[in-house]
């Protein structure tokens, strides 16, 4: 397992991870319309490339294949984990945990915050095991989507 900062050469692989994972994970929770709207909004070059260029997208590779990605940035008084996705056939490989450990390391003295969809119990359990605590529920960024659970991990 290798975790590294994404480059522009990884653009297609990062989008592939996101689109594939969304289509495999979210339909039972959100329905197809939410999934396709989210993909059209957040998994296109115009929205992925700025993070790659800013150095705030990480990838995890197994055998020279990108199998997971994370996107983060400093936001207000914390580091926000915007995206963390692992290809379905690589879930359980440690790729997500490795990415999250790197994001936490990059946070330094800042707490790390993230959100996940209500109903995504698997993600919730993973984040709890890694020290995140539920702190709030917020509305969906997509009309008629499920609420999101906010979780936070203290600095350090």
Digits of tens for pLDDT over the chain (156 positions)? 999 999 999 999 999 999 999 999 999 999 999 999 999 999 999 999 999 999 999 999 999 999 999 999 999 899 999 999 999 999 999 999 999 999 999 999 999 999 999 999 989 998 999 899 999 999 988 888 899 999 999 986
Nearest to 78 by CA among 44, 32, 115: 115
- Cα–Cα separations (whole angstroms), residue 124 to 39, 41, 73, 77, 119: 22, 24, 21, 23, 9
Q: pTM for the complete prediction?
A: 0.94
């Amino acid at each position: 397992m290798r975790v590294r900062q994404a480059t522009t050469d990884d653009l297609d692989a990062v989008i592939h991870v996101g689109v594939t994972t969304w289509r495999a994970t979210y339909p039972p929770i959100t329905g197809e319309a939410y999934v396709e709207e989210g993909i059209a909004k957040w998994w296109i070059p115009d929205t992925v490339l700025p993070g790659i260029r800013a150095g705030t997208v990480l990838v995890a590779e197994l055998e020279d294949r990108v199998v997971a990605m994370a996107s983060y940035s400093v936001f207000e008084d914390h580091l926000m984990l915007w995206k963390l996705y692992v290809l379905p056939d690589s879930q359980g490989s440690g790729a997500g945990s490795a990415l999250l450990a790197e994001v936490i390391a990059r946070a330094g003295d800042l707490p790390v915050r993230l959100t996940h969809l209500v109903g995504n119990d698997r993600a919730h359990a993973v984040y709890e095991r890694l020290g995140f605590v539920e702190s709030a529920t917020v509305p969906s960024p997509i009309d008629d989507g499920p609420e999101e659970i906010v979780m936070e991990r203290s600095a350090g």
